[in-house]
A = this chain, B = another copy of it.
Amino acid sequence: MKTSNELVRNKIEELWEEEKLFLKTLGSFPSSLGNEKGIQQFVYNYLQDIGLETEVVAVDPDRLRKYENFGEPEWSYEDRPVVVGEWKNNGPKKGKSLILQSHMDVVNAEPEDQWETPPYSPVIKDEKMYGRGILDMKGGFAAIVMAVKALRESGIELGADLQIQSVIEEECTGNGALALLHQGYTADGALIPEPTQSRLIKAQVGVIWVRVKVKGAGAHVERAESAQNAIMKANKLMESLMEYREHINNRSKHPDFEHHPHPLNVSVGLIEGGNWASSVPTECTFEARVGFYPGTDPEDVKEEVEQWLLGAAEEDDWLKEAKPQFTFYGFSAPGYTIAKEEEIMEEMAASHYAVTGKEVEDLSFTATTDLRAFGEFDIPATCYGPSGGDMHAPNEYIELSSLKEVTHTIAEFILRWCKEK
């Protein structure tokens, strides 16, 4: 007779065409910030169809603001719910309960003309599937859903509760993850199948966003010499921010990031200024993302960034009077670490070994994920997910062989963590 693991492995292979189709469907929803309704509706229906007890939860920022990991939004949460599907074990608890979480929001696909195929019409070429969000992280979501489906269709009954959480705003605040935890959807452990290239996250940096508004003294370009060009003034501050980046990377490193040559990224992500070629712009606004080590308070980083840029402004006759204005919104995300000795790390490592025959590598991640929300709720959590490329860039893709392997590993992990009834 076949073992449960063998049954599930066969089932995952059987479901492989369906898994690719499922991922393609997920990738067809342009679920960028504010546009998550459609995909969440689809996910809700799908989780119901595979037999989970499903609930839709609204994200209410006023209830979440108390959490350390809350990110201040500048938009409404209307029609932008989070979704959870529960597979309850109706018997004695033999294993540990588990959350499998993914975010359905994607960063937008502009400029779309840099894509070789349309970003929301996923295509497969040379065993890769291309599309916005296919890697980050609809692929991971396909893996957890198909792992669960394979377990259920193999007739397995788990020894503990399992949840699939489908959230929003991993890319900007983390408030989607908080909303379900706040609602009571907690567990003994959590796995997020972010695209880690089959590595296990043991640490991730913290991240804040800052918006810097620079004023100029506008004028007809005829008097450009006496005017103050807000765009050129913003350039100065952006260059200063690059010096800040070097400054913080030259400090002694956090132990988890010791071997990374340049762990703390500071990057300008968008800019907008002026409105007419023949006018000297009176305003220019740019936004940047600043990374920092676990253990640092995001509020301290905001203060440091603001003081650094005000220092640069002091060196400019105009900016020292017309001081730049700072807005901190979106990510206010502390770092996160988890000991390799935690049971979830060991079980994930064992699952990886069982499927691949190799020791898993760990990863100190130089960006943020929703892991930190689980940290705030004292739920041991890690990320482990598929391989691919060009995340947050045109022509994002997933390696399909990696997706299948990760699906197997996650199924293996569920059996080890939740155990059977």
Contact = CB atoms under 8 A, between A and B. Distances in A.
A85 to B, nearest CB: 28
A253 B231 CA distance: 28
Contacts of A219: 390-393
A262 interface: yes
B218 A282 contact: no
Given A111-B283, A220-B393, A232-B238, A270 B274 contact: yes
Interface in A381-421: 390-394
B239 A269 contact: no
A1 interface: no
Interface residues of A, number: 66
Counted per complex, copies of this chain come to 2
A281 interface: yes
Contacts of A95: none
Interface string A232-265: 1001001100100000000000000000011001
Nearest to A222: B367
B107 A269 contact: no
Given A111-B283, A231-B271, A272-B272, A222 B278 contact: no
Interface string A275-298: 111111111101111010000000
Contacts of A79: none
Q: For chain A, what secondary structure do more than half of its interface residues adopt (helix, strand, loop), or is it mixed?
A: mixed
B221 A276 contact: no
Contact of A280 (B209, B223, B282, B392): B392
Contacts of A172: 278
A267 interface: yes
A269 B265 contact: no
A267 B235 contact: no
Contacts of A271: 231, 271-274, 281, 284
A166 B278 CA distance: 21
A217 interface: yes
Contacts of A392: 218-221, 276, 278-280
Contacts of A287: 277
Interface in A289-322: 289, 291
A229 interface: yes
